[in-house]
Amino acid sequence: MLADVSRIPGKSAKERAMHILRKSGVASVPASAFYHDGRGESMVRFCFAKEDAVLEEAGHRLQILA
């Protein structure tokens, strides 16, 4: 899933993904990695191929960014 992170501090998707990781401990992939033309700088990709308990914990951790 791609998520809009334009409100997260950072000038690029990579900076925003790192901010999310530092603040919440939840990893994401900069969406710019999936485009060749500069798109995706305001989005990150989250993977949901995890157990329900892990996803619930990630959701709680991400709430601190709201």
Distance CA 7, CA 36 (A): 23
The residue ranges of DSSP E strands in the chain, in sequence order, are 2-4, 29-30, 43-45
Distance CA 53, CA 49 (A): 12
Q: Which domain holds residue 47?
A: 2-65
pLDDT at 12: 93
Give 8-51 pLDDT, tens digit per residue.
Answer: 999 999 999 999 999 999 999 999 999 988 789 999 999 999 99
Give 5-18 pLDDT, tens digit per residue.
Answer: 999 999 999 999 99
How many domains would you assign to the chain? 1
